[in-house]
Amino acid sequence: MSIFEKYDLHEVDESFEIPEKPETGLTLLVGSSGSGKSTILKEWGLEENVLQEFVPLHEMFSNELACEKLLTACGLRTIPAWLRPLSQLSNGERHRAEIALSMDKGQTVFDEFSSVVDRNTARSLSVAMRRHYDQEQLESMIFATCHRDVIDWLLPCNIYDTDKREWVKKKIDPFSGYLFHLKSDPPISKIGFVSKSITI
């Protein structure tokens, strides 16, 4: 008996419907490993970067202003790290640097967000990304992660759960309040109210 017959692999169907990409807002794909996040991101425009391992980090940016602005936006404010190549950075420093380099190339879609860093670093990075999104008044940013704790720090406008294959929260109107229901990990229900106002 072959392994394909033993485990009935002939019947495996891993295809699924790709959700419609939100045109605006900060969007988060969240779900377990292997649930299709990367597949969806590739359909939504994820680009792979070929990075140079042994070039000083600051030399990899388009200019010095972009280097300072984007590394600071990603929370990598340790100046000596800017002088080192990617190969000499810690996991957390490298993760932030790679996001900053992607942003320098105009990319707005990011996979494995905060997956390789401790949760304190993940929190500060998420807060920094949300601040950058707001301050720059960006039209769209998209992140994918297996960690549900970043929801409370990143405060996404849209959330797609790849385990359930459904939108958990989807922005309807940027100036209207809306009620949303989320489940944290461990599964404890959360209910929150988000509203935005405009002052004239």
In a domain, 8, yes or no: no
Omega before residue 186 within 30° of 0, cis: yes
pLDDT digits (tens), the chain, 200 positions: 676 666 666 665 667 899 999 999 999 999 999 999 999 999 999 988 888 999 999 999 999 999 999 999 998 998 999 999 999 999 999 999 999 999 999 999 999 999 989 999 999 999 999 999 999 999 999 999 999 999 999 999 999 999 999 999 876 544 443 334 343 333 333 333 344 444 43
Q: Report long-range pairs for 12-18 (Cβ below 8 Å, ≥24 apart).
A: 16/165, 17/165, 18/43
In a domain, 64, yes or no: yes
Query: How many structural domains does the chain have?
Result: 1
Structural domain boundaries, residue 163: 17-44+54-194
Give one word for 33, left, alpha or beta, with left for phi > 0 and alpha for psi -120 to 50: beta
* CATH number, domain containing residue 86: 3.40.50.300
Instruction: Assess contact for 141 and 131: CB atoms under 8 A.
Output: no
Instruction: Assess contact for 133 and 109: CB atoms under 8 A.
Output: no
In a domain, 131, yes or no: yes
